[in-house]
Amino acid sequence: MCLRQLSAALHTTYLELAELDAEHTQKALEMEHTQQLKLKERQKFFEEAFQQDMEQYLSTGYLQIADRRGMEYMEMEGHLDSNNFPS
């Protein structure tokens, strides 16, 4: 193999690695964006539950969390698990 062929092979390899790096970066950004959306969804769920608790507490003076929200929490956790989100 002559020097010119070796140089061309190295250049091709470099271009392939650059393309793989760009693909990896894009996929990582997409995954990060997806996870951020899931985190925002989770935060919204718990903020809504907290707001409901505060409204009940302010109107009645007590909270009844276990009975009311046990299933909602389990459903939310199941929803997140089904989306491969670590709990």
DSSP string, the chain: --HHHHHHHHHHHHHHHHHHHHHHHHHHHHHHHHHHHHHHHHHHHHHHHHHHHHHHHHHHSS--HHHHHHHHHHHHHHHHHHTT---
Q: Which domain holds residue 27?
A: 3-82
Q: What pLDDT does 62 receive? A: 85
**Does residue 25 carry a pLDDT above 50?**
yes
Specify the number of domains making up the chain: 1
Q: What is the mean pLDDT of residues 9-29?
A: 94
Q: What is the mean pLDDT of residues 70-78?
A: 58
Stated pTM of the model: 0.56
Q: What is the mean pLDDT of residues 19-41?
A: 97
37: in domain: yes
64: in domain: yes
Torsion of CA 69, 75, 79, 82, to 10 degrees: 140
87: in domain: no
13: in domain: yes
